[in-house]
Chains A and B, each alone.
Chain A
Amino acid sequence: MGEKCCESGTEQNGVTMILSCSGGSNVGQLANQAAVELTREGYGKMFCLAGIGGHLSGFVQSAKDVDKLVVIDGCEIGCSRAILDHLKIPMTAYVVLTKDPGIEKNKDFNLKREEIEKVKETVKTAGKMTKAEAGAAGSVCCA
Chain B
Amino acid sequence: MEVKILGPGCPKCQQTEKVVKEALQEAGVQANVEKVKDTMEIANYGVFGTPAVVIDGEVKSVGKIPKKEEVLQWLKK
Contacts and interface: CB of A to CB of B under 8 A. Distances in A.
Interface in B32-67: 45-49, 52, 54, 57-64
Interface residues of B, number: 15
The secondary-structure label for the interface of chain A is: helix
A36 B30 CA distance: 44
A66 interface: yes
**Interface residues on chain A, size class:** 10 to 19
Contacts of A65: 48, 61-64
A131 interface: no
A62 B58 CA distance: 12
Nearest to B42: A58
Contacts of A93: none
A15 B61 CA distance: 16
A143 interface: no
A42 interface: no
Contact of B47 (A14, A15, A62): A62
B63 A58 contact: no
Interface in A6-50: 14-15, 17, 45, 47-48
Interface of B: 45-49, 52, 54, 57-64
